[in-house]
Structure 1
Amino acid sequence: MKILSGDFNAKVGREHIFKPTTGNESLHEISNDNGVRGVNFATSKNLTVKSTMFPHRNIRKFTWTSPDGKIHNQIDHILIDRRRHSSVLDVRSFRAADCDTDHYLVVENVRESLAVSKQTTHRVHMERFNVKKVNEVEGKEQYRVEISNRFAALEHLDTEVDVNKAWETIRENIKMSAKESLGYYKPKKHKPWFDEGCTKLLDQRKQAKLQCLQDPSELSGDNLNNIRRETSRHFRNKKREYLKDKIDELAMNSKNKNITDLHRGINDFKRGYQPSSNLVKDENGDLLADSHNILNRWRNYFSQLLNVHRVSDVRHTEIHTAGLLIPDPTPFEVESAIAKLKQYKSPGCDQIPAELIQAGSKILYVQRTTSNYFYLA
């Protein structure tokens, strides 16, 4: 389904020659130059102008109002593929939607029957612990006390117990300790500077706009303009304060040699908000949205990436296997392995980041027996 929508700056009229493409419910009688060009474009691409095909009152048709509030035009349109034009149920503008602009919101109702294959995949929601508290003295000490109390019950753990059951016990104790002392990570907002004061000003501006629509007098217009200016000024000041605090935070991280947080803050400024997307590109650079095509693309990519040896090379390659008897790791080896864990990495299926193991390392490998070293490893 191809849908083209936006500000065309085109008045589409009700000329008889344009009716197959535009219908007979436009706000304007005669098309302007941009309107004729828009209709010709729609005809050449086998599209229809659905925004001028539904009967509504005039206040539901116009999409733009002049600054003096006396001129109303329908210049925002929605075009759709002629084959799917029956999927559009209604198109109208909503004046009450407040975006502080001279254009009104145009809403399209679309209904489409799609054939979707039933999939039994289940998405696993993983909650992340707030590992930033581990870097703080108070949070780290609280976590150590919590994990020490929980592991005190494992002092007399049977050394002959199954290794998987022992690891499940240790894993659950680590997760419960982190939950009680650190809590979960709260995702940051897109606009952290947007607080309750901004919300109240937005509500006031919305009420003033509704009042101006219901009573378009000079007094209500002046009131709306005053609230608009106050809201814009407040937003600018809040954003400037937020940017100043972020710059001071970056300077403090640079001074304290906190390189990780410094680079994270710089990347937030450079990249800004980036919505998550599952789309990938094929060999030609075109986007793929279908799950089957995406899966094939990843399969081909990894097959080309990993199959770097020829078949003849693989056949003559000698494979060295480890010995059958491997001694248990010593306490020093476990301690060294924990110290070498990389931080700021996503946890695996056990949902335990490396920071939690390193923060409780003294409890995890000092108070345990040799068998428990093996369980932890």
Structure 2
Amino acid sequence: MGDMNAKVGEGEDKKCGIGKFGLGDRNERGDRLAKFCCANNLAIMNTCFKHHKRNLYTWKSPGDRYRNQIDYIMMKRRWKSSVLDAKTYPGADCDTDHILLTAKMRVKPTCTKQKRRSGKLNVKRLNDPTIKAKFKHESEQQFRNEAMNQNTSSETKPESLWVTCKTILTQTAEQTIGRAKRVPKKPWVSQEVLDLAEEKSKLRKQSNTPTQKQRYKELRAEIQRRIRRDKTTWLEEQCKQIKDFDATGKSKVMFEQIRSVKAKSTPTQQACIKDIEGKVLSESEDIMNRWKEYGGKLFEKPDKEVPALSMPKTPVEEVEPPPLISEVEHAVSQLKTGKSPGLEGVPAELIKSTGWYGLEALHQLCTSIWTSCEWPEDWKKQEFVMLFKSGAGVRGPQGMLQLQDHRTHQPYQQSSLDDHYTSPESKTGARTTRRTCCLQERTRNQRHVGMPSDTDGEDTWNR
């Protein structure tokens, strides 16, 4: 922690986790920091090791008139023995009035397997007619070869059909459109500025003469000046592009550009949540138990049973025909683009850009699901997403829970879903002009949004 201007000073205070080797005298903010460490069972590690004073101070005033220790490494006392050393490095090139503070720790390495995150497919390139035609041609060729080699009977399981479609679409997309490159956090920083920064870093280590020190100060001021100039130029270009998009009616691209210019950092995770009584939980086990309790309460059965939908009685021997390929083609044409892909990583743009053989593969997949009543494994996956919200006084885990259906390429629309429950012609909602499929029920049953609330009834669904 830093920039609190808290000085804990010299002298040991075991109750507050402060060691013998502090620096200077304690001030009022230092007393508050000591109370904070005592209340949270923390130890200030860079006061526990004996070093020369030049390795204890963490801040120096302009002109190097004063040197104080106001930055600290704090950790739980149960892990105090794992820290071997803690000190500062005054010679580090940090370009700030604070000094680099480090700690040497002894840790037990564990083998953790982490999936390498690949970038999203650059589906914007499909707006180019040439690239779109190339993707369509190559995907059609692969679907055609697969149709010739594979058994195309209706007994094929949906899982194998879906894996085939997914593999062909993603591999062809990687070869034709590729992955989107990550945008740097500060795109206005030019290579010229980076070269100057490298020269400044080398000069800092060699600044022994007054000429070198003067040159170092000049480079530092020049870098700051160029960064401000480049940022102003970059913002002017972005504003000009936003005006052009607005004038040409490209509202979607315009708002994307606005978000990229005024993007604000959002928390990726929340370390602490509150229990039902409002007490803050910080331990991982307590947090997991609280989420388990909240999820169980969220999806528990209500006291009153929801009445079943009254469906017209039909003869048992009546068998619904499978969906037509024209229905699948119509559903694909109604897919919305520009949406985030699901956990399987297949954007809707890829499905819309495929040709006739791709539609036949999707039709075969829908037919197989219809006849076997089995879902592909990717379609069963769901994820709890916590969306952060402002304000206090919320019972339960602070934040919003969303049980999100990550498949963006639903092959049937909500209007057909309503017909599924209103059509008097059949128990499955089939009509002579438009048939429906069991995929509709997946849309109806798996899309739920929840938010912690003080009332129990608002948080409960009958699954």
1:58 has 2:50 as partner: no
1:352 has 2:346 as partner: yes
Structure 1 residues 9-28: aligned runs within 5 Å: 9=5, 13-14=9-10, 22-28=18-24
SS at match of 2:62: coil
Which segment drifts farther, 272-281 or 135-144?
Answer: 272-281
Q: Which residue of 2 aligns with 1:331?
A: 325
- How far apart, CA to CA, are the structure 1 residues paired with 2:107 and 2:87? 19
1:186 has 2:181 as partner: yes
Q: Which residue of 1 aligns with 2:269?
A: 277
Offset from partner CA, 1:331-350 (integer Å, 9 cap, x none):
32111110122323333454
Q: Which residue of 1 aligns with 2:2?
A: 6
What is the RMSD computed on CA atoms of the aligned residues?
4.1
Q: Which of 100, 104, 109 pairs up with 2:99?
A: 104
Q: Which residue identity does 2:186 align to in structure 1? A: K
Note closer, same or farther for the CA distance 1:43–1:206 as it changes in structure 2 (3 Å cut).
same
Which segment drifts farther, 347-356 or 44-53?
Answer: 44-53
Structure 1 residues 239-278: aligned runs within 5 Å: 239-274=231-266, 276-277=268-269
* Structure 1: runs of 5 or more not aligned: none
- How far apart, CA to CA, are the structure 1 residues paired with 2:282 and 2:30? 34
Percent identity between matched residues is: 26
Q: Which residue of 1 aligns with 2:224?
A: 232
Which segment drifts farther, 6-15 or 333-342?
Answer: 6-15
Offset from partner CA, 1:239-296 (integer Å, 9 cap, x none):
2233223223333333333333333333344442335326574456777565544444
How much does 1:203 deviate? 1.5
- How far apart, CA to CA, are the structure 1 residues paired with 2:68 and 2:272? 40
Structure 1 residues 95-244: aligned runs within 5 Å: 95-111=90-106, 128-154=120-146, 156=148, 158-160=151-153, 162-164=156-158, 165-212=160-207, 215=208, 218-244=210-236
Contact 2:144 2:357 in 1 (8 A): no
Contact 1:250 1:262 in 2 (8 A): yes
How much does 1:354 deviate? 0.8
Note closer, same or farther for the CA distance 1:274–1:370 as it changes in structure 2 (3 Å cut).
closer
SS at match of 2:50: coil
- The number of residues matched between the two structures is 361
Which segment drifts farther, 127-136 or 265-274?
Answer: 265-274
How much does 1:166 deviate? 4.2
1:317 has 2:302 as partner: no
- How far apart, CA to CA, are the structure 2 residues paired with 1:167 and 1:47? 53
- How far apart, CA to CA, are the structure 2 residues paired with 1:9 and 1:211? 32
How much does 1:14 deviate? 4.3
SS at match of 2:2: strand
Q: Which residue identity does 2:251 align to in structure 1? A: I
Note closer, same or farther for the CA distance 1:35–1:219 as it changes in structure 2 (3 Å cut).
farther
- How far apart, CA to CA, are the structure 2 residues paired with 1:39 and 1:339? 61
Contact 1:8 1:77 in 2 (8 A): no
Contact 2:6 2:33 in 1 (8 A): no
Note closer, same or farther for the CA distance 1:334–1:67 as it changes in structure 2 (3 Å cut).
same
- How far apart, CA to CA, are the structure 2 residues paired with 1:86 and 1:144? 61
How much does 1:330 deviate? 2.0
SS at match of 1:89: strand
Contact 2:272 2:282 in 1 (8 A): yes
- How far apart, CA to CA, are the structure 2 residues paired with 1:155 and 1:44? 70
Note closer, same or farther for the CA distance 1:325–1:255 as it changes in structure 2 (3 Å cut).
farther
Note closer, same or farther for the CA distance 1:317–1:124 as it changes in structure 2 (3 Å cut).
farther
Note closer, same or farther for the CA distance 1:113–1:199 as it changes in structure 2 (3 Å cut).
same
Note closer, same or farther for the CA distance 1:229–1:184 as it changes in structure 2 (3 Å cut).
same
| TM-score of the superposed pair, with normalisation by structure 2 | 0.64
Offset from partner CA, 1:191-216 (integer Å, 9 cap, x none):
2233433322222222233334xx3x
How much does 1:34 deviate? 5.0
Q: Which residue identity does 1:317 align to in structure 2? A: A
How much does 1:232 deviate? 0.5
Offset from partner CA, 1:279-335 (integer Å, 9 cap, x none):
574456777565544444444444444457434x24x53575998622122232111
Note closer, same or farther for the CA distance 1:89–1:370 as it changes in structure 2 (3 Å cut).
closer
Q: Which residue identity does 1:146 align to in structure 2? A: E
SS at match of 1:76: coil
Offset from partner CA, 1:71-97 (integer Å, 9 cap, x none):
433343445565654443222112243
Structure with greater helix share of residues: 1
Contact 1:63 1:73 in 2 (8 A): yes
- How far apart, CA to CA, are the structure 2 residues paired with 1:171 and 1:136? 23
Note closer, same or farther for the CA distance 1:47–1:136 as it changes in structure 2 (3 Å cut).
same
* Structure 2: runs of 5 or more not aligned: 370-410, 412-463
